[in-house]
Amino acid sequence: MGARHTLLVALAFDPIFRAAQLWRARWGADAQVPAMAAATSVMRVQQALLAEYDTIVGAHGLTFARYEALVLLTFTRSGRLPMSVVGERLMVHPTSATNTIQRLAAAGLVERLPNPKDGRGTLAAITPRGREVVEAATRDLVEAGFGLGMLTEAEQEQLYQLLRRVRRGRGDFDAD
């Protein structure tokens, strides 16, 4: 799995650098050029990483969203969570969480069980096959360096800390 996974076609120029030049020319130096370039870069990197992750976990019959749901379930003591918690933790609309879990259930990777604490609620529970698949997909993602192998470990940590600061500032979580 050591091959480089990418669905992007390399451009002959950096489109964000060019956009920053045009942005500055159109709206001036005070128009938050670095913020626009950084935000646009985050979005472009997200698209590239998701394409790579979908390719990697796709070899295991998953999308990255389904992989994330399986990982979430493996992180629980019991291997099961109420559907409302699944959506909340994955930061997706309840309908998206339901769709993800239904597809995992159809593949035999998750079971949908009645929630004994809520008569109307449903629990998502990872199956033994789901555990096997998430372990194999995780090995492949780790081998691919999560698409960030061009950065040193120190740079990866720095990037994480910078993005964590943005997430905290945006209200993603309460301060430590």
pLDDT tens for 86-145 read: 999 999 999 999 999 999 999 999 999 999 888 788 999 999 999 999 999 999 999 999
Kindly state the average pLDDT of the residues 146-156: 97
In-domain check, residue 35: no
In-domain check, residue 107: yes
Residue closest to 4 by CA, chosen among 42, 63, 49, 46: 49
* Domain limits for position 129: 61-143
145, 56 contact by CB (below 8 A): no
21, 28 contact by CB (below 8 A): no
pLDDT of 7: 55
CATH number of the domain that residue 68 is part of: 1.10.10.10
In-domain check, residue 6: no
4, 48 contact by CB (below 8 A): no
pLDDT of 9: 78
In-domain check, residue 22: no
Residue closest to 122 by CA, chosen among 69, 68, 78, 86: 86
pTM: 0.85
* Number of independent structural domains in the chain: 1
